[in-house]
Structure 1
Amino acid sequence: MKYLNQSATAHELDLLFEWIKLPENKKLFSEFVQMHYAITYNMNDPDHKKTLAELLFVIKKEKSLAYRIRNKIGYRYATAAMIIGLIFSIYLFKDQVFHNRTANKEPIIVNNEINPGINKAILTLDNGSQLTLEKGDTLHTQNAESNGEELIYEAKQKNVGEVAYNYLTIPRGGYFFIKLSDGTKIWLNSDSKLKYPVSFNKGETRKVELVYGEAFFDVSPSTINGDSKFVVINESQEIVVMGTEFNVKAYEDESNIYTTLVEGKVSVNFSNSQQILIPNQQLNYDVETKKSLIKKVDVSNEISWKEGLFNFNGKSLREIMKVLSRWYDIDVVFENEQISDEEFVGSLSKDQNIEDILSSIKNFGIIKEYKIIEKTIILK
């Protein structure tokens, strides 16, 4: 269970991986996967072998993460504890899971029109004309080209005097990648809008605006751009960067702006104040109270959306449903407001069917029932 709730150390992941290599242990772990799958997906004809293979792959990946602390003490005791924990988990949940399957009501689903997000965006040119970008479509303009999954601007810097700006708007249920003319890479999440120059004036500050939404920036270094700074602005703050990777979350329906630094260094300016961030720090700025808080975070959790995952560790159901509403372009109604503060711990794939996600949340006892009526989800 430590692995599934993401509290296992790298050492424990190593032990688990080595333990699974034995055929008899692999069989036991497969049974455990079946039980967990039952908890998460209500045993709707699961593919146990595929699930096991995917978990083994993720274990291999996670055990190499540098931020997990390795501890060589107590190898035998840790191994025994993990094995006992796995066996105990299988039989502890077995009766409960199958009891819940028969006791819970089937969800009401009417004309389910909900699908995961796809590559799509609206490009607004400097003359005001709008072009739709979607997967499978191609586009060629004077300065850029797109294959429907990404928008790439011609790599050039020139002195043009007045700078021409384009806008890239990502609707609910969409996401997109853009590469600016200076080489900066930007991933835009659902319900986001970016304003940026078609090309930058050589030697001048490179400035873009995250009008609203969420974006991950991989900024081209100033050393290859004439020592020019890169600045990201929005209505409430300004971020000055010098060759770095960071995430900004600034949605219109939220009063907080979250700036998370992955690599490099940034200076965040707001309300006549300035804060310097170092890697693995997040600045939470409250637009209404004008107060800010810096804390250390697991950046992999904060940017998991970019890698195709929802990471909901420590998130309330209301926060979770807000994220899902943008990604699946849905409306959510709480018939029981008390459940909105309940927390769900775990990671989910962004490609999952919405019914699978809701069943997972339901099977963990957070909600009792749910309904899907076209593009509206009702929770109780």
Structure 2
Amino acid sequence: MSVFNKIIILSKKLASSLLKDEKPTDLEASDIFNDADKAYILKNLTDETLIKERLNLANQVKKKEDWEKVKSNITKPSVRFLYWKYTAAAAVIGLLATTYFFRGTLFNNSNECMPIIVNNNIKTGTDKATLTLEDGTIIALEKGNNYEAGNFKSNGEKIIYQANNRSNSKIAYNYLTIPRGGQFFIELSDGTKIWLNSETQLKYPVSFIKGETRNVELVYGEAYFDVSPSVNHKGSKFKVINQNQVVEVLGTAFNIKAYKDETNIYTTLAEGKVELDFNGKKQKLSPTQQSNFNLNTNALLVVNVDVYNEVSWRQGVFSFENKPLKEIMKVLSRWYNMNVVFINEEIGNEAFTGVLGKDQNIEDILATIKNFGIINNYYIKNKTITLK
């Protein structure tokens, strides 16, 4: 196991200790690092000036500002704790991992090839979406543009629907489409909060009918749901429909990943309980469990996962643990709206562990990966990256 992977493991142990109100001890570190590892870290990773300089340059996790922003929109104590948990983990992992990221730049004395950059048109993703009303009207939602109509309003970064007290017999549906290079937040009329990732489309009712099941459809893409409990809505259930899968909840937080170019649907439960229905086959999930449903074979696999790695995308970071580079680049290509070409397909199978900031430019991201020796070099032209 590499020193870096050991650092990630240690950082997660430290974060776990914080969550349990325990004081981290030297024993945790001694369990992971041998004498050679400790000597390496002392030599390469403990320069105080270096750490301060690099952490200022790579401020990947703005934990204080982000947490205050999130906290102001949260009223449920359990959800507030959940957010704090992920923020703490991001802070600890980011602190240790960021220092290590830049180790390669300062302590690697080899003469490496410089990357070739021609007209880099790759931009960092931002808040943006397209709203399609029931009558076909299309509205572009972008940061800085305010829009208000009916029972909803948007400031270009999120869209909020107000509760409608009328008992309608007919449900009107809207579509919210997030392009590549975008993300968006929506609060439905029942108070359910949904974070939408790049290249995602959600179909949902403008208002719900009292007492009836609240149905929404994740047409494609990835979304994190914080569902308003059924006890607040006369016991009405909440269901998320996606292709051959239906997720039924009573009030919980979970993530669904179901992209058009992938043959698997991943559902990760962060809090509460859900029951999944795959063409009549039902499966319940407990917190930290993830279901993997193969659309081609109808096979279902349930495993335990690190929830933080699965949902960190909505908090401003991408957290990867032993993830193949080809899967990482697929995630990044959606956020940066770019194309990626592998000259050597075997490079795509190389595993990477690290925490990357969503506000970083693509050149910094590639430099980080290059410093670990996973790629030899890269070439950027317009909106295409070539890795070798």
TM over 0.5: same fold?
A: yes
Equivalent pair of 2:5/2:353 in contact (CA under 8 Å):
no
- 1:312-323 residue pairs with structure 2 within 5 A? 312-323=320-331
- Residue 5 of structure 1 aligns with which residue? 8
- Please name the residue that 1:142 is paired with: 150
Q: Pick from 91, 109, 118 the counterpart of residue 99 of structure 1.
A: 109
Deviation string 1:19-39 (CA, Å, 9 cap, x unpaired) is 9xxxxxxxx97972669989x
Instruction: Write the distance in 2 (CA, Å) between the matches of 1:332 and 1:189.
Output: 19
Q: Which residue of 1 aligns with 2:311?
A: 303
Q: In the alignment, what sits opposite 2:344?
A: 336
CA contact (8 A) 1:181 1:198 kept: yes
Work out whether 1:50 is the aligned partner of 2:56.
yes
Task: Output the amino acid matched with 1:110.
Answer: V
The equivalent of 1:217 in structure 2 is 225
Separation in 2, partners of 1:275, 1:37: 50
Cα pair 2:61 2:357 within 8 Å, conserved: no
Residue 75 of structure 1 is matched in structure 2 by none
**Change in CA separation of 1:37 and 1:300 when aligned onto 2, cut-off 3 Å:** farther
Q: Is 1:30–1:52's contact at 8 Å kept on the other side of the alignment?
A: no
Matched-pair identity in %: 51
Equivalent residue number for residue 74 of structure 1: none
Q: Measure the CA separation in 2 of the matches of 1:128 and 1:301.
A: 37
Cα distance per residue 1:136-184 (max 9 Å; x no partner): 1100011200001100001224321121000000000000000000000
1:164 matched to which residue of 2?
172
- Structure 2 counterpart SS, 1:116: coil
Match of 1:226 among 223, 234, 241: 234
- Kept in 1: contact 2:104–2:372 (CA 8 A): no
Larger Rg: 1 or 2? 1
Deviation at 1:51, TM superposition (A): 6.1
Amino acid at match of 2:301: L
8 A contact 1:157–1:200 mirrored in 2: no
Measured after TM superposition, the shift of residue 345 of structure 1 is 0.5
Aligned length: 336
Which residue in 2 is equivalent to 1:248?
256
Q: Distance in 1 between matches of 2:150 and 2:238?
A: 24
Q: CA deviation at 1:97?
A: 3.4
Distance (Å, rounded) in 2 between the aligned partners of 1:194 and 1:55: 28
Task: Please tell me whether the aligned partners of residues 205 and 216 of structure 2 are also in contact (alpha carbons under 8 angstroms).
Answer: yes
Q: 1:14 aligns with which of 9, 24, 34?
A: 24
Query: Following superposition of structure 1 onto structure 2, how do residues 356-375 of structure 1 map, counting pairs within 5 Å?
Result: 356-375=364-383
Q: TM-score, normalised by structure 1?
A: 0.81
Q: For the structure 1 residues 49 and 331, does the alpha-carbon distance in structure 2 shift closer, same or farther, using more than 3 Å as the test? A: closer
Instruction: Map 1:16-35 onto structure 2 (within 5 A).
Output: 32=45
Check 1:350–1:4 CA distance in 2 against 1; reply closer, same or farther (3 A cut): farther
Alpha carbons 1:116, 1:353 under 8 Å: kept: yes
Q: 1:129 aligns with which of 129, 132, 137?
A: 137
Quickly say closer, same or farther: Cα 1:330–1:292, change in 2 above 3 A.
Answer: same
Q: Does 1:326 align with 2:334?
A: yes
State how 1:50-89 maps to structure 2 within 5 Å: 50=56
Are residues 1:275 and 2:283 paired? yes
Provide the secondary structure at the position in 1 that maps to 2:180. Answer: coil
1:11-61 Cα distance to aligned partner (Å, 9 max, x none): 698347xx9xxxxxxxx97972669989xxxxxxx9346269989989xx9
* CA apart distance, 1:301: 1.3
Does the aligned pair in 1 maintain the 2:60–2:317 contact within 8 Å? no
The equivalent residue for 1:116 is: 124
What is the aligned partner in structure 1 of residue 208 from structure 2? 200
- Does structure 2 retain, via aligned residues, the 8 Å contact 1:176–1:189? yes
Instruction: Give 1:184-199 correspondences, 5 Å limit.
Output: 184-199=192-207
Amino acid at match of 1:99: N
- Deviation (angstroms), 1:346: 0.8
Tell me, in whole angstroms, the C-alpha distance in 2 between the residues paired with 1:237 and 1:36. Answer: 52
Greater mean alpha carbon deviation, residues 265-274 or residues 185-194? 265-274
User: Does the 8 Å CA contact 2:247/2:275 hold for their aligned counterparts?
Assistant: yes
Structure 2 residues without counterparts, runs of 5 or longer: 30-40, 65-80, 89-95
Aligned partners of 2:105 and 2:387: how far apart in 1?
26
Distance 1:34 1:310, change over 3 A: farther
Deviation readout 1:233-260 (Å, 9 max, x if unpaired) = 0112000000100000000101110001
What TM-score, normalized by structure 2, do the two folds share? Answer: 0.79
1:266–1:276: 8 Å Cα contact kept in structure 2? yes
Helix, strand or coil: the match of 2:211?
coil
Where structure 1 has 5 or more consecutive residues not aligned to the other structure, the ranges are: 20-27, 39-45, 69-85
